[in-house]
Amino acid sequence: MFDGRFRRGIDATTAPVGRWLVRAGFSADALTASGLVFACVTGWAIAEGYHHAAILLLTATGFHDMLDGAVAKASHRASQRGSFFDSVIDRVSDAVLLGGVAYYLTAHHRGQLVLLPFAILTTTFMISYQRSKAESLGLAAKGGLMERAERMILLGVGLLATQIFIPVLWIMLVLTAMTALGRFWRVWQVAARPEPVRTHAYRPRAHAGRRRGLTRTTRHP
């Protein structure tokens, strides 16, 4: 939702910050890499139960993720390599954060509750895969209730208190699964439509003599 409906407003807000960071000497790849470092520290804080500190670290991780694109645009160095690097790091960050959640649940709760973050991570990767596969086929696959920005915000809400942490995780799983199913259905519907018939551009008819095979090759001295 934030990545689609509100993207223009976010870009307009972050563009001046991106220009300032470029003047300060920061690069988009450096922000992406440092965002992964913050994600790792956040995962550790979640695993150890320092949830209030994890909220601050998660906010810093989100700012890195939000500003690396603005820096790339401001520096006029947006590239396929940078986009690929950012996408891969986002997936690693998701795994690290939910890995911290799994460790915390293992240490403080009994039973199979550790499978909850595993299920969230699986549906999260399915959302990302559907988008990348659809775009490789020339189809749009953005939007949904629970994209990456919404997942980070909801995780931060769950970290506010231990009493709501697990219920928020269940809500995240349900909304993430709904997003994955909704994205699959939209792409499925679009892909079922017949491809438009390509019309060839008009070409003037060849000379009558050429059509009849009567043309001759003339050599000039």
Rounded Cα distance between 81 and 64, Å, is 18
Domain positions in the chain:
7-191
Six-digit token pair at 178?
């709904």
Tens of pLDDT, residues 77-129: 778 888 899 999 999 999 999 999 999 999 988 778 899 999 999 999 999 99
H or E element in which residue 178 lies: helix 162-192
Q: Half-sphere exposure (CA, 13 Å, Cβ side) for 88?
A: 8
Q: What pLDDT, on a 0 to 100 scale, did the predictor assign at position 140? A: 81
The residues, ordered by sequence, that sit 6+ positions from 105 with a Cβ below 8 Å of its Cβ are 113, 114, 116, 117, 166
Contact predicate 137/103, CB 8 Å: no
Q: 7-191: which CATH topology? A: Four Helix Bundle (Hemerythrin (Met), subunit A) (1.20.120)
pLDDT confidence band for 174 (50 / 70 / 90): very high
Say yes or no to pLDDT of 206 above 70. no
Six-digit token pair at 198?
């390509």
Q: What pLDDT, on a 0 to 100 scale, did the predictor assign at position 14? A: 77
Please state the pTM of the whole predicted model: 0.80
Find the mean pLDDT for residues 42-70.
Answer: 92
H or E element in which residue 71 lies: helix 51-74
The set of catalytic residues is 90
DSSP track, 112-135: TTTHHHHHHHHHHHHHHHHHHHHH
Count of residues in the chain:
221
